[in-house]
Amino acid sequence: MTKPSFQQLVDELLTAFGTPATLVDTDNHLLAFSAQPQQRSDIVRRNSLLGRTVDAEVESYIGKHIRGTSTFARVPASQKLGLSRRAVYSIYHGGTVQGYLYLIDNEDQLTETSLFPFEPLLRQVGQEIELERFAVGRSYRVVSGLVSDDADQRSAAAEILLDAMEPAPSAFRIGAIASDTDSVAAGIANFVWKRVFEGYPAWGIVDNMHVVLIGSGAAIAPRSGTDEMEDSARRKQITPALERWPRQLATPLVGLGGWVKTADECQKSYHQALRALRFARAGLQDSRTADWETLGAWRPLLLLSRHDAVASLDARIADLIGGEDPQLLLMLQRYLERVEDVAAISASFHVHRTTFYSRVNRVQKKYDLDWEDAEDRLLTIIGIRIGLLYALHR
């Protein structure tokens, strides 16, 4: 996933000087790194390669020594930090620093003059870092505009997007991608994310999650073919990004919004994607990707905030959810929604049919419910779904 010129630079420096080289952007996000001979490595470099970014204390120490220098600087060793002596080369393009080259250099063999043969490659790397930053910035602005609450911003973003796309997709949808902790990985450089989302019309970070714009093409048209074919096609639309996801990160949670006909309607799909993501986060399915268009009767519940959903619970159902085991709630859900017959449900939960009916009757009596009554049955189905969605059970 590293850009060829980035890797070429660090590899050639290692070959020429025998010193490990690390390339970072101005936010100290890792762009490329060479191999590291054991005798020429240190704990700071090993940790930065594992964490994909530079420790804040190390960053402050190095920054103190390179601040005010033009291109080349030396950073003294620090036993406290586990830092070997380094040469630091600032990579410029257009008069602005684009990144830094860190080289472990305990013998002070490197000088600015010794790096002159690499000047053409250094200029190329500087230019490519800047171009990557411009491309990512433009994509961020388009996505932020498309999902904005401001109608004028949505319209302007849609116009910019369509001017750059030929031919324009026949429909659009939004994917919201997040980690289990609700945060975007901080140590991954933007150019890496650009590779992850390559081929999508636009992507960005909104409210601390990745938001990607998906356009339908001839090969993957919305609402066509059998349900099985449609589901497979929908999942394929996000598969390329998941296949390129940084390996050091856990598989993300994904919410896919519904299709809309025009780009300036993407805000609607975005809100649907956020609700689908909420469903994916609840862990009620095997997949970590939830598609708004396949969520069926879950959708009205997802339109409610957690507060409003909980407040809507019948008092008897609230007591049931808070007083019973989650496994029993799942068993009751399958029974009340007639997902399977009683024999199949009993087998799935490893109970005898007699035991199953005994539990059903016990719950109805305990919470004053009658599931032969349509109203009680529907209240229980809705209530259990809300309880599972927001983990309200004990």
Which residue from 388, 383, 361 is spatially nearest to 281, judged by alpha carbons? Answer: 388
Distance of CA 64 to the CA centre of its chain: 34
Asked if 135 contacts 194 with a C-beta cutoff of 8 angstroms, the reply is yes
Answer yes or no: is pLDDT of 5 > 60. Answer: yes
Contacts of 262 (CB under 8 A, 6+ apart): 158, 172
Answer yes or no: is pLDDT of 355 > 90. Answer: yes
H or E, element range at 311: helix 306-311
pLDDT in tens, 17-67: 998 999 988 888 888 899 887 777 888 888 777 766 677 888 888 888 888
pLDDT of residue 183: 64
Confidence of residue 169 (pLDDT cuts 50, 70, 90): confident
Helices 119-146/266-282 angle, 10° precision:
100
Contacts of 30 (CB under 8 A, 6+ apart): 22, 23, 24, 48, 49, 52, 53, 187, 189
- DSSP-derived secondary structure for 201-212: SEEEEETTEEEE
Distance between first and last Cα of the chain: 44
Q: What angle do CA 279, 284, 287 make, to 5 degrees?
A: 85
Confidence of residue 234 (pLDDT cuts 50, 70, 90): low
Average pLDDT, the chain: 86
Answer yes or no: is pLDDT of 221 > 60. Answer: no
Bridge-based pairing of strands 96-104 and 253-256 is unpaired
- DSSP-derived secondary structure for 332-374: HHHHHTTSS-HHHHHHHTT--HHHHHHHHHHHHHHTT--TTSH
From the number of C-beta atoms within 10 Å of its C-beta (0-12, 13-18, 19+), residue 152 rates as exposed
* One-letter identity of residue 93: H
Asked if 194 contacts 132 with a C-beta cutoff of 8 angstroms, the reply is yes
Specify the 3-state DSSP secondary structure of 289.
strand
Structural tokens at position 182: 């609700």
pTM, two decimal places: 0.72
Structural tokens at position 288: 């970590």
* One-letter identity of residue 281: R
**What mean pLDDT is predicted for residues 251-266?**
92
Specify the 3-state DSSP secondary structure of 120.
helix
Asked if 238 contacts 244 with a C-beta cutoff of 8 angstroms, the reply is no
pLDDT of residue 269: 96
pLDDT in tens, 305-349: 999 999 999 999 999 999 999 899 999 999 999 888 889 989 989
* One-letter identity of residue 342: V
H or E, element range at 223: none
CA gap 284, 346 in Å, rounded: 19
pLDDT in tens, 34-46: 988 777 788 888 8
